[in-house]
Structure 1
């Protein structure tokens, strides 16, 4: 059953999100497609929230009815790559298949294109992660190619992935501030 778009919001993380964060970040089924291992320590998760997620302006909590249900981020490139951002996201398993990820991706694209002065957003999807590829395609991303032997999953498994991207319409990129 799909969730109404109005119930899905994005916001910065806070320490009150720890329980929700642990709900997806400790789930091996959620993290199997990600570069990082599932969290096994509440303290490590809190450290990540406090020192990485909370201070980062482009790491957002995906919230359903105000409660953190996942995370999404866009990392802007530097130097010659300053015209683009790279998106990543994860979502608690109980929200899979309900449209939440697609809504979150669309909302994050709006924020990124309005606030980051970038012309494109890319995402890498592990070849076997068909659901994530569909999320991106529903949000307007287009397949640009296959990247063979491109990523090391959890530092152990070399894997192929797809590169998908979408573009800001009529965007003139300005150089990043010095």
Structure 2
């Protein structure tokens, strides 16, 4: 399964992606607004472990962002359990050399359309650190709406941040009130 963008593709992870991913992920600016489970420094062992973990996904919900055949980022839906079983979380990152080129808003649209067409979900949510307005713009360009702000809810690198909640509803899901 490949999702074609303008100058990039979303595709499954390949074992040979590890070196390129390590190169692009090992950047404090890339990891600055990601959960701590995204390590920094990002070693080749981290990249190899991640790529191995991503093999044989079913369903496919975690994609590499590839430009000219090289892995330069990732975008994924984190499927959840219990009352959130139909509301995955969206997460993404991109190597700094590719920022500001329009890749991420289009990638968000691609994975959102894919998810609504292939997964039994009612909406997709994304949580953005208050210090990351560029990511908020990505979501807004992709059609996501801000649902609210959770004040002083996260700590990253010793700093307390608000979290901005964005969501897109599946237009084909039945809404109960």
| TM-score with structure 2 setting the length | 0.87
Choose which of 94, 97, 111 in structure 2 pairs with 1:94: 97
Q: Could you say which residue in structure 2 is the equivalent of 1:32?
A: 32
After superposition, what is the alpha-carbon deviation per residue over 1:124-173, rounded to whole angstroms, capped at 9, x for unaligned?
0101101000000000000110111222326x443211001011113138
Unaligned runs of 5+ in 2: none
Counterparts of 2:25 and 2:55 in 1: how far apart (Å)?
16
> In the alignment, what sits opposite 1:142?
145
Gaps of 5+ in 1: 174-178
Paired residue secondary structure (1:122): strand
The 4+ residue runs of structure 1 with deviation greater than 4 A are none
- 1:72-91 aligned within 5 A: 72-91=75-94
Q: Over aligned residues, Cα RMSD in angstroms?
A: 1.9
Partner of 1:168: 170
Listed one character per residue, the Cα deviations across residues 40-71 of structure 1 (whole Å, up to 9, x for unaligned) are 431232112212x3344311101123321100
**Higher relative contact order at CA 8 Å, sep ≥6: structure 1 or structure 2?**
1
TM-score using structure 1 length? 0.86
- C-alpha distance in 2 between matches for 1:111 and 1:5: 13
Give the 3-state SS of the residue equivalent to 2:154 in structure 1. Answer: strand
Are 1:17 and 2:39 matched, yes or no? no
